[in-house]
Amino acid sequence: MTQDASLDELRLRLAPAIADAAAFDGWSDAAVSAAAEAEGVDPALARFAFAGGAMTMITAWIARIDADMADAVPGVQLSNLSIRERIRRLVQFRLDAIAGQEEALRRALSIMALPQNMAAAARLGWSSADKMWRLAGDTATDYNHYTKRVTLGSIYAATLAYLAQDTSEGHADTRAFLDRRIENVMQFEKAKAKVLRPREDTFSFTRLLGRLRYPAT
């Protein structure tokens, strides 16, 4: 096993504990040291693994959620559900995975919004959206491949921002917010499908005139 692979595994192992500590210490070396102590890892090795700073820690946290999602909600579990329900369950799993770490989430969102981190944050959002769509069974290779991921990434980002400020019991307001966003997208997709429907499936005034002039016998 290469050193990089070993460090990646260590980052995934420590990421949840770092997120727990980040609520108090921020996404900092102090959070890394606290996580290392909690997990029985050499603090110096842990700090080396996260030498890239806060974005390295946040990236590992997101990667751990991605991996846990794939293990807990495999595509075969979703195959009999509607697309709407597949996406809702996948996003909800991610929200549940963050439960109790809202302060760490707020701090992470602030860091990701910094100008120097926005490109990396966009890549992370795209990657998570792509993983959700693949688990949902998406096989699109045309422009829909990209629009689906942009749309889901936007829904997920907006829902995370809502969750970060949600004080409702059991985050019920966040669940309702997510359902509304998904419903809005489904309505848009239906409208788009009508606009893009093949010509033979749409009303043709010329064809109607032809039928009136030369009725079928």
DSSP at 204: -
- pLDDT for residue 144: 87
Secondary structure of 32-86 as H, E, C letters: HHHHHHHHCCCHHHHHHHCCCCHHHHHHHHHHHHHHHHHHHCCHHHHCCCCHHHH
Is residue 206 over pLDDT 60? no
In contact, 79 and 137? CB cutoff 8 Å: yes
- pLDDT for residue 1: 43
Pairwise CA distance, residues 58 & 41, whole Å: 19
In contact, 91 and 156? CB cutoff 8 Å: yes
Q: Among residues 5, 13, 2, which one has the least CA distance to residue 46?
A: 13
In contact, 68 and 79? CB cutoff 8 Å: no
Q: Among residues 153, 97, 155, which one has the least CA distance to residue 128?
A: 153
Is residue 209 over pLDDT 70? no
Domain residue limits, the chain:
1-51, 73-213
Compute CA distances 103 → 82, 90, 109, 197, whole Å: 33, 22, 10, 46
pLDDT in tens, 34-68: 999 999 999 999 999 999 999 999 999 999 999 99
Q: Among residues 172, 175, 193, 195, which one has the least CA distance to residue 183?
A: 175
- pLDDT for residue 71: 94
Average pLDDT over residues 112-121: 97
Q: What's the predicted TM-score (pTM) here? A: 0.83
Domain 73-213: CATH architecture, name and number where available: Orthogonal Bundle (1.10)
3-state class (DSSP) for residue 176: helix
